[in-house]
Amino acid sequence: MVKKLWGEKMLSRILFRREQHREPSEEEVHDIVDSKRYVDQVSTEEVRLAYLRGEEVIFPVCYCKIDMHSCFNIPS
């Protein structure tokens, strides 16, 4: 079961594409999320294929601490 909003949206988009054969609008995605229609309707194989086809993507985010002194050559 998906517990994060990004997962709910992903499953909703996949479900919408399967049913309507087009990309959903944000409003259409929100309607499916609110109704919980995506629950138990999208298989792990459909998720895998959506990523392989490029319909879904993951953007990793990395945060790191920057030392202003070394970055701008400011003497400490």
CA quadruple 35, 39, 41, 43: dihedral positive or negative?
positive
- CA 10 to CA 24: how far, in whole Å? 11
- CA 50 to CA 57: how far, in whole Å? 9
- CA 10 to CA 20: how far, in whole Å? 15
Extract the tokens encoding 42. 């999208």
Sequence ranges of the domains in the chain: 1-76
- CA 55 to CA 17: how far, in whole Å? 10
pLDDT in tens, the chain (76 residues): 678 999 999 999 999 999 999 999 999 999 999 999 999 999 999 999 999 999 999 887 766 666 665 555 656 5
Which pLDDT score is estimated for 13? Answer: 98
